[in-house]
Amino acid sequence: MKKNSTKQKVIEAASSLFFQNGFHGTSVRDIADKATVNVSLISYYFKSKQGLLEHAVTQYYEAYLETIEMCLEENESMPPLEKLKKIVEVIIHYKQEHHQLSCFIHRELSLDSVFVREMTVTYLAKENYLISNAFYDIFPNPKKQNLENQFLLMQFKGMLTTPYVMQNEWKDKVVGDFSHHQFVNNYTRTVEKWLDFVVQEKKKGLDKKYIL
């Protein structure tokens, strides 16, 4: 189904302004001016600024989770570690492709609000399920969800969100499509190296255990 281009233009304008000024620092008039549409059109499509936010975030997460599920399905036969690396690549690529909205959402998720609780109940729970299962599958130990691995999972999930929580660290380094593409490649490679290190250290620990 073809997307409404005017509606999408409003969402993109809102995403940019929410990223720059925050939700409360952005007015419906600001969004209308940036999107070059009439204020009444925003009311027609979204009812309110809150409705616009909810629509943008819902659209973002539904496409995001679909991207992860498709990656899992397409790479089902791959070894768990290689499959997880593919997931890392599609996640970072998706978040970078929607950079401003990604940054805004992750910033809002650091706050305790009704918005956060609603996201937790719906989309974040599913995201956690998909990522956690793929992560734990790289460990052969039957007790793969032990405390140490839970800590490693926490670090792993942190690496997937850090560039969008600490966006000010990168704002002068990632400008234009090419640099976004380079960032995806370089950052994905860094996370992959960390995963390789974790798996190797775990294997060393198992080997040592059986030798002793």
Note down pLDDT in tens along the chain; length 212 residues: 346 688 999 999 999 999 999 889 999 999 999 999 999 999 999 999 999 998 999 999 999 999 999 999 999 999 999 999 999 999 999 999 999 999 998 888 877 677 767 776 789 889 999 999 999 999 877 677 888 999 999 999 999 999 998 877 665 555 566 577 888 999 999 999 999 999 998 887 654 443 33
| Sign of the four-CA dihedral 39, 98, 164, 57 | positive
Q: Are residues 194 and 107 in the same domain?
A: yes
- Same domain (yes/no): 59, 34: no
Q: Are 30 and 112 within one domain?
A: no
What pLDDT, on the 0 to 100 scale, is given for residue 180? 77
Q: Are residues 95 and 189 in the same domain?
A: yes
What is residue 88's three-state secondary structure? helix
- Domain region containing 10: 1-47
112, amino acid identity:
D
Q: Are residues 56 and 38 in the same domain?
A: no
Domain boundary among 31, 47, 63: 47
Query: What is the residue type of 48?
Result: S
Which of these, 143, 107, 102, 122, lies nearest to 24 by C-alpha position? 107
Q: Is 119 exposed, middle or buried (0-12, 13-18, 19+ CB in 10 A)?
A: buried
Tell me how many domains the chain contains: 2
156 plus 67 within the same structural domain: yes
Distance CA 15, CA 103 (A): 10
Same-domain pairing of 193 and 104: yes
What per-residue confidence (pLDDT) applies to 81?
Answer: 97
Say how many residues make up the chain.
212
Task: Report the CATH number at residue 4.
Answer: 1.10.10.60
Do 43 and 79 belong to one domain? no
* Co-location of 87 and 192 in the same domain: yes
DSSP 3-state of 149? helix
Nearest CA-CA partner of 16 in 44, 52, 48, 51: 52
- Beta carbons within 8 Å of 135's beta carbon, 6+ residues apart: 84, 152, 153, 156
Rounded to an integer, what distance in angstroms lies between the CA atom of residue 78 and that of residue 37? 48
Q: Are residues 25 and 59 in the same domain?
A: no
Q: What separation, in Å, do the N-terminal and C-terminal C-alpha atoms of the chain show?
A: 61
pLDDT of residue 212: 34
Residue 1: per-residue pLDDT: 39
| 57 and 43 inside one domain | no
**Residues near 62 by beta carbon (within 8 Å), at least 6 away in sequence:** 123
Residues 30 and 72 in one domain: no
